Structure 1
Amino acid sequence: MIFEENEKKEKKNEKLLVDLCECYHFLSKVALMDLFPVSVPILLKVASNKEESEEVQKEVEMALLALSSIGKNGEIEQKQYLNEIKEIIKYHQDHHNLTRLAYQSALEFLICRFYDSNVKGSFFVNERRRAKEEKLEEVILNELHFAREARREQEEMMKCVDWKRREEEKERGKEVPEEFVLVKWPRASKIFLRFYRLKNEEFLVLLSSVERVFQAAKENYRDICYSCVCMFDVAAGSKGVKVDHLLESGAIDAVLEEMHRSTLESRVTKKSFEFFVNVSLRTKGIAFDDDEEEEEYRKEEVKRKIIKRKMLEKMEEEGYEDIIISFHKTFGFIRKKFHGEFSLNVEDYFVNV
């Protein structure tokens, strides 16, 4: 229907075309690659409308949400979206014309394109593709200041959430929009950090902000809490995040605290263990992907030893240091042979506690 309507020479129904594109991307888990050259420009045109009426604002929000719904399910040529999405985001940063959901969705759409580029690039590495990746890195972090914006948005939305509301109360009532948007920020950050390569001090403020969200959510908002721990886990293995950022931001203390809960929750505890394995691998210097990273590691050996000692002291205080170390060989073997992770029934690993 989208292709047929788009190919009409006369009496093309633009409103129907927009509705069809939105419905398709909301409902389809894996979109047709051939559809992107049609649907993406159509939705970006709607999202670029700067009128301030309530009706237009809703249309813009729906278009951007549909674009973010594409997620990581397909590579889109930069010429089809980059200039337009940058203009939408920058205009909002200057004029605050978008809703919070629309703004987050715009950045998430851009970050998911970064994922596409790297996944494809892991199999077909060439200079042209790497140049595209570097351009997106520069745009997302240094031009659009994603880390700084994510921190600001998260902290603003934290003021709008009733953190004392219990799970059973949420089930009986309507979902608060701020909760939905808030949980999307750590998820988007996780996607970006998985492939970002360059060191940047702004990641410290981003991690610190997510840690504050985690602390607020840990009692009554377990979905948000889980998303935060997942983001910490990816950050621990990210080239762009310094290991000392994990200490300074409070991420390590937060995850240790989570593992001390009287009632363990499998998925959160599982991610907590994986986080500490990644941290430990980084400090031991056995997680290098290339010679350049190893050389940088050796140059900062003195600083690394100080950081390692601080982290081990924290882990020893809580009684986890020996347990984490004992997983190294087993975990490495599982990853090499089966590309697996820890069992979801992570309580089975606590036999030594």
Structure 2
Amino acid sequence: MPKNRPKNRPIQALLLSTIAMAASFVIWNLFSPLAITFKELYRLNGFQASLLVAAPVLLGSVMRIPMGIYADRYGGRRVFSATMLFLIVPLLAASFASSYSVLLLCALFIGMGGSTFAISLTYVSRWFPPRKQGLVLGLAGLGNLGSAAASYGVPVLHAQMGLSATFRMLAIMIGAAAIGFWLLGKDLPNPASVKNFKQSMAVLRKKSTWLLSLFYFLTFGGFVAFSVYLPTLLKEQFALSATEAGFRTAVFVLLATLIRPLGGLWADRIGSRRVLAVVFSGFAIAAFLMTLSLERLSLFTTGCLIGAMFLGIGNGAVFKMVPEVSPQDTGAVTGIVGAAGGLGGFFPPMLLGFIHDASGSYVNGFVLLSVFTAVCFGFNAWTIRPAIEKGATRAA
């Protein structure tokens, strides 16, 4: 990191990256609050509607791996701006879509908005020293607020302007964000030796990479799954209006996102492993409460909010460890772990839709969530590499 850079440049990089990620996440999550609209418009069954909601999550997750590496290699400013500009194409195409298959294809490419997570964290991490990584990457994760904005704002925009105009307005928004980032953003000079894709992917040989991916599959995957599927679940299970379901989902996203920096800060001070032990215990309780309260909105809401709190803390704690796994390949590890988290948000909505279609209830889906949380708790307690914790222990 150059010593002569302006003192305010890291803060500027953090701020710009967070805003750009939030704008991209609005795009990434726009199909979730409109799921019921599309379900009625194209007469979809539960699985088809879930697939439409989950499709952006799939591409956004998988593409985090190359986008994190490209951000390391070519600089976050260039890669971030190009990705946001690309989103204009599927948005405009979706505004003219007249069939489910075309809309599904547009939804898949709109998923590129989710890949900006890896770009953002790779870009920001290079501006700050290791002792601040937990808090800083937690703050960068506030870009998840774009999901909350989509949950509440997209239904309002749709009600006022109609479906096609909603897509076009969002295309204008993301285009403006891309131009702003390009004009105001700066990159640190590239490191002396830049690894190719194959060399960067060598981090897959490390057990710690797979363990962090497992943990993020639950914490961020749970966050994404609830963000995209709660509007549908609340409308079908509790007969809420689209606006009310969107508002409740926005509260969930807001709580999970705002508390994320706290998870990173605690991980800086006491170590991520200890924080995650509390997270997995607490989320298991929340999942169990949600399982028992699928007929009572007040109790289900309580379980969701408790779950949001622990998921947010867990997200911050996991990414505190990412730069410590391989400091020279932060982009690669960020992309792989981020992809695992995104895939954790892809499968649950589809599984819940399938389970509900088959049994008429969501109970078994929440039971599976509780079991998977217990598995993560076990791995954290017995098999995580102590080396991951060295940096956090020294900082404590």
Per the normalisation by structure 1, the TM-score is 0.26
Greater relative contact order (Cα < 8 A, sep 6+)? 2
Answer with 1 or 2: which has the greater Rg: 1
Per the normalisation by structure 2, the TM-score is 0.24
